[in-house]
Copies of this chain bind each other. A is one copy, B any other.
Amino acid sequence: MSFQVVAECNGARAGVLSTPHGDVETPVFMPVGTRATVRGLMPEQLDALGAQILLANAYHLFLRPGDELIRDLGGLHGFTSWNKPFLTDSGGFQIFSMDDLVKVTDDGVRFRSPIDGVYHFVRPEDAIKIQNNLGADIIMAFDECVRLPATDEKVAGAVDRTIAWARRSQEAHARDDQLLFGIVQGGADRAQRDRCITPLLELDFPGYAVGGLSVGEDRAVMLDTLAHTTAQLPRDKPRYFMGIGKPRDLLDSVTRGIDMFDCVIGTRNGRNATLFTSQGMLHLRNQKYVRDESPLDPECDCPTCQRYTKAYLRHLYKSEEMLGAILGSLHNTHYLVGLVRRMREAILDGTFPGSVHCAP
Contact = CB atoms under 8 A, between A and B. Distances in A.
Nearest to A36: B315
Contact of A40 (B65, B309, B311, B322): B322
Contacts of A156: none
A42 interface: yes
B323 A40 contact: yes
Indicate how many identical chains form the complex. Answer: 2
Given A312-B79, A312-B80, A321 B291 contact: no
A123 B191 CA distance: 76
Contact of A73 (B65, B73, B80, B291): B291
Contact of A308 (B65, B81, B291, B325): B81
A35 interface: yes
B64 A315 contact: yes
A69 B290 contact: yes
Contacts of A35: 315-316, 319, 321
Contacts of A293: 73
Contacts of A36: 312, 315
Q: Which size class do A's interface residues fall under?
A: 35 or more
A172 interface: no
Contacts of A202: none
A326 interface: yes
A37 to B, nearest CB: 5
A311 B79 contact: yes
A308 B44 CA distance: 12
B64 A318 contact: yes
Contacts of A43: 307
Interface of A: 35-37, 39-44, 64-65, 69, 72-73, 79-81, 290-291, 293, 303, 307-309, 311-312, 314-316, 318-319, 321-323, 325-327
* 4 cross-chain pairs, A with B, having the tightest CB-CB distances, nearest first: A40-B322, A37-B323, A65-B315, A35-B319
